[in-house]
Amino acid sequence: MLLLCCPLPFLLLLLPLGSRPQKLPTRDEELFQMQIRDKAFFHDSSVIPDGAEISSYLFRDTPKRYFFVVEEDNTPLAVTVTPCDAPLEWKLSVQELPEEASGEGSGDPEPLEQQKQQITSEEGTELFSYKGNDVEYFVSSSSPSGLYQLDLLSTEKDTHFKVYATTTPESDQPYPELPYDPRIDVTSLGRTTVTLAWKPSPTASLLRQPIQYCIVINKEHNFKSLCAVEAKLSSDDAFMMAPKPGLDFSPFDFAHFGFPADNNSGKERGFLKSSKFGRQTSPKPRVDLHRVCIGNKNIFTVSDLKPDTQYYFDMFAVNTDTNMSTAYVGTFARTKEEAKQKTVELKDGKVTDVFIKRKGAKFLRFAPVSSHQKVTFSVHSCLDAVQIQVRRDGKLLLSQSVEGVRQFQLRGKAKAKYLIRLKGSKKGASMLKILATTRPNKQSFPSLPEDTRIKAFDKLRTCSSVTVAWLGTQERNKFCIYKREVDDNYNEEQKKREQNQCLGPDTRKKSEKVLCKYFHSQNIQKAVTTETIRGLQPGKSYLLDVYVIGHGGHSVKYQSKLVKTRKFC
């Protein structure tokens, strides 16, 4: 039987953590109040209840000691120490019980100071010691009666830890049991996904206890306990708010240890008015660590990962009744590399069609076979604007946004190689046509005016005709106009979806064609043409398109125009 060694102040704090209440000896209240004012003893002593996991903290280089009593010989005993975010040094030792503390005694409690002197007057027999950050156990099927002493020390930094002790390890089993093969298997690996599988805990499959699995993903290292994960996830170090030995506890401090604050006593003693009891800390930046609990499944796919990145995966079986956990053997994996972009070769004077996914990019290469003084790039963006970058032998020559048709002429260089990067729109997929040539007269795309709108004259509307006008250029080109009847509820959003400027007249029905004509003007101010479209129905809506066709046969569409004939004339 594991007994509390003495009526210490921590007793009241630790008992609610236990799964089974323990019978306490009576105490002298006056003596208890006198002893609780001994701050050094208050901080240096603590007790471990039987069958309950306790959470506590250590200041760096400040040892902490716990006690418990095993009253009978040949008693089973298990002690588990879980470091959280720093390695621990801990030692378990035992010494004989004082006669007054034996089971045959009167049951009257000793004065606390006298018990302390008996405890510390001689060194006990060391049973076990450990140094590291693993979850470590001491297990004995037959332990002698005595006063057991657990000493803990952190030499690295202030840290949290957990301790569990029981004299009934066979029946308690608070920690989920691991399967015979506790490893996590990586069953599938992609650029942004990793699929994990593991064998179920016997606690769930055989004992039918409520077990859920929690996966932890990060880029730094594996974790040996869920306690360490929680410490890493914490936005600030709660134990840094704890008072140093010798200072009073305030309700503010207790709130950080998970104990309820007594607001009344705090007001009486003025805890909240004084700043010396709490140290200010600034929040830490959020760590790149994710935890997800998935119930009792034993296969899971982690998604939304970055390509060509190493990730560490840990799995914890958690008993949902006790909230105690056991760690599987963690693993790590590197996601696959992003598929390398294929570089498209451009041929001199030949138009190339390019499709780019939303927010995507494409790379093209142009390597003229002969020496050249100039090189011309003509780009026709079919939908939204695209970004173009041109580098010559690694040097950036051009970086611009292109909407509609644009032409860029760059100075050439013997044996130069050009790398073109095209970046798509954030709104959606992009389509474009591109031509590269070292021959200045080789222009497949027709020249366009700055304004490619079609203007409709409202005063010239009739019940069967509409009159429109559009701008041309100094270059003689062929213009074709097409019409299509649409519903009255046809709106600008529908029109916008049909604004693929790369679709030519060959995609239209013959019945939609109105006429084709050649037009140009040496005076750019007078490069405008009008056309009256007849044979329309009264009160109907029509979508008008004008195509300009270049010498190479490639066409560019002007902005569509929605018109409506008069209903009554």
432 and 354 Cβ atoms separated by less than 8 Å: yes
Write down the pLDDT at residue 122.
59
Which stretch of 78-92, 198-212, 439-453, 504-518 has the lowest confidence by average pLDDT?
A: 439-453
Write down the pLDDT at residue 422.
92
User: Does residue 315 surpass a pLDDT of 70?
Assistant: yes
Q: Which helix (H) or strand (E) holds 11?
A: helix 10-14
> Tokens 């134990």 correspond to what residue?
239
State the Cα–Cα distance between residues 514 and 532, nearest whole angstrom: 10
| More confidently predicted of 463 and 32 | 463
CB within 8 Å of 474: residues ≥ 6 apart: 447, 520, 521, 522, 524, 527
* Top mean-pLDDT range of 32-46, 102-116, 198-212, 261-275: 198-212
Which stretch of 45-54, 139-148, 495-504, 544-553 has the lowest confidence by average pLDDT?
A: 495-504
Q: Where do the CATH 2.60.40.10 domains begin and end in the chain?
A: 175-238+287-339, 454-564
Mean pLDDT within 561-568: 92
Q: Which helix (H) or strand (E) holds 88?
A: strand 88-95
User: Does residue 45 surpass a pLDDT of 70?
Assistant: no
| More confidently predicted of 470 and 97 | 470
Which stretch of 73-77, 219-223, 279-283, 357-361 has the lowest confidence by average pLDDT?
A: 279-283
User: Does residue 69 surpass a pLDDT of 60?
Assistant: yes
Q: Where do the CATH 2.60.120.680 domains begin and end in the chain?
A: 52-97+124-172, 344-437
80: pLDDT confidence band, cut at 50, 70 and 90?
Answer: very high
CATH number at 175-238+287-339: 2.60.40.10
User: Does residue 347 surpass a pLDDT of 70?
Assistant: yes
Topology annotation, domain 52-97+124-172: Jelly Rolls (2.60.120)
Write down the pLDDT at residue 339.
72
489: pLDDT confidence band, cut at 50, 70 and 90?
Answer: confident
User: Does residue 114 surpass a pLDDT of 60?
Assistant: no
287-320 b/e (C-beta count within 10 Å ≥ 16 → b):
eeeebeeeeeebebebeebeeeeebbbbbbbbbe
Mean pLDDT within 446-475: 91
CATH superfamily of 454-564: Immunoglobulins (2.60.40.10)
State the Cα–Cα distance between residues 316 and 131, nearest whole angstrom: 23
| More confidently predicted of 104 and 460 | 460
User: Does residue 51 surpass a pLDDT of 60?
Assistant: yes
Furthest CA-CA distance within the chain = 122
Q: Which residue stretches of 38-168 are H helix?
A: 39-44, 112-120
Mean pLDDT within 19-25: 34
User: Does residue 61 surpass a pLDDT of 70?
Assistant: yes
Q: Which of 142, 43, 152 is nearest to 93 (CA)?
A: 152
CATH number at 344-437: 2.60.120.680
Write down the pLDDT at residue 552.
74
Write down the pLDDT at residue 218.
94
| Mean of all residue pLDDT scores within the chain | 78
Write down the pLDDT at residue 110.
52
The one-letter code for the residue type at 172 is: D
User: Does residue 214 surpass a pLDDT of 80?
Assistant: yes
325 and 226 Cβ atoms separated by less than 8 Å: yes
